[in-house]
Amino acid sequence: MITLSELRTRQAWPLNQKIDHTCYAVEAFVAYCKEHGRTPYVSFSGGLNSTVLLEIVRRFVDPNMPGVFCSTGNEYPEIVRFVRHTENVTIIRPTMTPREVVARYGFPLVSKEQAHGIYDVRHVKGEKTRRRRLEGVANSRSVMISKKWRYLINEPYEVSHKCCEYLKKGPMRKFYRNSNALVMLGTMAGESNLRTGQYLTRGSCNTFSDDPRKVYSAPLSIWTDTDCWDYIHRFNVPYCPIYDMPGITRTGCVFCGFGAQYGGGSRFRVLNNLHPKLYKMVMNYTNNGYTLRYALLRMGVQLPGEQPELFGEK
Ligand code: SF4
């Protein structure tokens, strides 16, 4: 374990020191894989961080390092094109489409932790779980549902955390089972409180365990977005051109409602500007006969061209 102030010190290191640190972590991970008869690979999303990770690994450690991209059917078309043009990347797919996942399990809204809590209260039988989610319990890892989002417990549509499971984690696990490979991720500790907490507990980029399912590497843990851009410019690294389009700050799943309450609806405005057909399609994903558009408006998200009087329409 390390302290938050130690993490902050590492995050303030100059880029050269971070590159050395990352290479050291990758080399240690690759050596571990070799020793245990496993193949290392980079989980490649086509986004900024994994683009940097794949490049750094191929430049300094192993030019043949494979990448794996999980195509959820939920990405910007520019990302898919960029991935297809990147060499030595295997594309895997989930067995369900985003539309099917949403229809069966509900919309991913607010945050993974809040959506999980709402799902638990609606579906898990047991007073203990319900109390934990509504009243909170000291030292419990379950997050309490915040007052602001409790209305979601009684909405006519479902809200859940399961989308990631069916669209991303499940296909990755299947790949892992079939390939015996171990993953390197481009995640950074500064991305969220959850990631910060995970890094503080691990204390380093690599996690080794007797259980191979728990072994992984996150060699960019102490990096920031600014470091990634500095690296890209220093080494002239090709990146997905979507980052040069106006308003783009994120390139993840286009319909995700996690964090949609922030940014004044800009992610949906940008999607609508760049790909209006795609925007229309995802807004019409439904659960229990209610659209994603309806659920987002209920959350107070500002959607392009929506009039306040439309609020509450199905
Ligand atoms: S990031 Fe959001 S939309 Fe994408 S798979 Fe996870 S929950 Fe679903």
Contact 56 CB / ligand 1 (< 6 Å): no
- Can you give the pLDDT at residue 139? 65
- What are the per-10-residue average pLDDT scores of the chain (314 residues)? 95 98 98 96 97 98 97 94 97 96 97 94 85 77 88 97 95 91 96 90 94 94 97 98 88 93 92 96 98 96 78 50
Contact 163 CB / ligand 1 (< 6 Å): yes
Output the furthest CA–CA distance in the chain (Å, rounded).
Answer: 63
Q: Which helix (H) or strand (E) holds 100?
A: helix 98-105
- In the three-class reduction of DSSP (H, G, I as helix; E, B as strand; rest coil), residue 187 is classed as coil
Give residue-wise pLDDT tens across range 38-86. Answer: 999 999 999 999 999 999 999 999 999 999 999 998 899 999 999 999 9
Q: Which helix (H) or strand (E) holds 115?
A: helix 112-123
- Can you give the pLDDT at residue 142? 73
d(CA 299, CA 157): 13
- Can you give the pLDDT at residue 294? 96
Q: Whose CA is nearest to atom 2 of ligand 1?
A: 256
**Nearest atom (ligand 1) to Cα of 101:** 8
β-strand pairing of 290-291 with 67-70:
unpaired
- Can you give the pLDDT at residue 129? 82
Hey, what are 198's tokens? Answer: 């995970």
Q: How many helices, marked H, and strands, marked E, lie in the chain?
A: 14, 10
- Can you give the pLDDT at residue 36? 95
Q: Whose CA is nearest to atom 6 of ligand 1?
A: 164
Q: Phi first, then psi: what are they for 90, rounded to 5°?
A: -85, 135
Contact 258 CB / ligand 1 (< 6 Å): yes
Contact 108 CB / ligand 1 (< 6 Å): yes
Of 116, 166, 168, the one to substitute when testing ligand 1's pocket (max ligand atoms within 8 A of C-beta) is 168
Contact 256 CB / ligand 1 (< 6 Å): yes
d(CA 196, CA 4): 8
Q: Which helix (H) or strand (E) holds 257?
A: strand 257-258
Contact 252 CB / ligand 1 (< 6 Å): yes
Global pTM?
0.89
- In the three-class reduction of DSSP (H, G, I as helix; E, B as strand; rest coil), residue 287 is classed as strand
